[in-house]
Structure 1
Amino acid sequence: MAPENETGNGTGNETVNDHANVSAPSGAAIRKLFADCDAVLFDCDGVLVNSEPISLATLVDVLAHFGAPLTLAEVAARFTGRSSSAPIDHIRDETGKDIRDQFKPFYYDLLFARYDHELVKIDGIDSVLAALKKRQLGFCISSSSSIERLGKTMDVTGLGPWFDGRIYSADFVANGKPAPDLFLYAADDMGYAPNQAIVVEDSVAGVTAAVAAGMKCIGFVGGGHYADDRAGAANRLYDAGADIVLSDMMELSNALGEA
């Protein structure tokens, strides 16, 4: 299936700016949230890069291949923000087959071929990272994706140097999101207490994990996978416990850049 709302040729220089009318918090509200913040933990897919339309559409094809088909809407509802164990469990439940050894190689072959041509950064993310660096705040990636997939993402988009090895995967912990394990692991490894950290997340599972970790949370609904329902997505993230929800990374960049 073709990805939705994608632009660019995958060279790493393009960005996606695909936001709609979601009520934006004021710059003052954003700065207040950062008043006691020392570190920012970014989810990757749907927050740093516009990968979710690609990955969800590819997952539809993979589930059909393994005999456990779901629609794109069903895949998005069930698996956004979750690790690969979730679709693997779905296939086992539907077919009785254990395809753990087959799933990732098959999925990644399809996914990475599309990444090379279709994956782009979220518009404004470089400005956000530059503002955090200027403020001397720590930041990292804390993603449900595997290290292999995160490495491919960094290579294609050129985002890797921003994080200087501070890339944490669900591979590192026993329980993925919505459990808090990954966020707690990342913060501890960087030397921060949970109450010093802000998480930036696009999924209900991720926001739930941030709240369970005792961290503040910024929801983000500017990715292509929310193009048809930004307001609804924002409401779901607020309901899950997000402190504020943004649809444009430049809102965050501009607020952080102000005195």
Structure 2
Amino acid sequence: MSQPLCLLFDCDGTLVDSEPLLGQVMADVLPRAGLPFSTDQYMEEFRGVRFMNIVAELERRHGSVDDDIRSAAETEMRSTLAERMKRELQIIPNVRETLDLLADHPRCVASNGPEHKIRTALDSTGLRPYFEDRLFSAYTLNAWKPEPFLFLHAARSMGYEPEQCVVIDDAAVGVTAGLRAGMRVIHINRFGESTPRGAIRMTDMAQLPGIIARLDQLEAVAAK
């Protein structure tokens, strides 16, 4: 019998609904640093993208800002977001039930966010026991999605080959990274976006157990 597929979950927008909070905080902080920005702009254009890459693009459009101002904006953004996450963060619907149903599958979190942000998100929502310390941050590795290294490193650390892994991610950068890594990719598409070719589209986390069951069956047939 083939071993269960290893599940690599994104965090923001996949497990927890932190992206609207992040968009709101950035829409407050960045304009005061001289970079026009809105919550809608984050949700429509920059979801899942590394903060400094967003800043770099805004500076390209609107002009450079002083290094000290840029650094202070990031510090304020992260401290404000952490406090709001502790008070306001909600789990994406059906995540807890889905994780319970998939308890026989090894799993981890692989996120473009800093590790302390991942821990804050999981601790404040009670999801940490589902993953314990199987947390992989792009900031720790200095390698961000859409490059595949984060997912490839997570797979190796979990003891799996890329073809034995399934990426579950809501953002285009994560879907692209998973496909580049040679993994199966499930795009949780909650905003009516275009799902990249090669990825499996779903609109609700409750659909995930059924999709994983079908992938497990395909894996079992291929192993015969």
**Alignment match of 2:78 (pick from 104, 108, 112):** 108
> RCO higher in 1 or 2 (8 Å CA, sep ≥ 6)?
1
Given that 2:24 and 2:38 are in contact with CA atoms closer than 8 Å, whether structure 1 keeps it comes out as: no
Residue 26 of structure 1 is matched in structure 2 by: none
- Dislocated runs of 4+, deviation >4 Å: 254-259
Where does structure 1 lack aligned partners over 5 or more consecutive residues? 1-34
Tell me how large the CA RMSD over aligned residues is.
2.3
Q: Which shows bigger deviation, 70-79 or 60-69?
A: 70-79
Cα 1:177/1:81, change in 2 over 3 Å: same
Cα 1:90/1:63, change in 2 over 3 Å: farther
Deviations 1:139-165 (A, max 9, x none): 100001111111111121011111020
Cα 1:215/1:37, change in 2 over 3 Å: farther
**Alignment match of 2:205 (pick from 249, 254, 258):** 249
Cα 1:89/1:157, change in 2 over 3 Å: same
The alignment-based identity, stated in percent, is 31
Where does structure 2 lack aligned partners over 5 or more consecutive residues? 218-224
- Give the TM-score of the pair, scaled to structure 2: 0.85
**Alignment match of 1:147 (pick from 108, 115, 121):** 115
In the TM superposition, 1:88-107 aligns within 5 A as 88-90=55-57, 92-93=59-60, 94-99=63-68, 101-107=71-77
Given that 1:67 and 1:91 are in contact with CA atoms closer than 8 Å, whether structure 2 keeps it comes out as: no
Residue 11 of structure 2 is matched in structure 1 by: 44
Residue 100 of structure 2 is matched in structure 1 by: 130
Q: Following the alignment from structure 1 to structure 2, what is the Cα–Cα distance between the partners of residues 250 and 176?
A: 28
Q: Following the alignment from structure 2 to structure 1, what is the Cα–Cα distance between the partners of residues 211 and 153?
A: 28
* SS of structure 2 residue aligned to 1:95: coil
In the alignment, does 2:22 pair up with 1:55?
A: yes
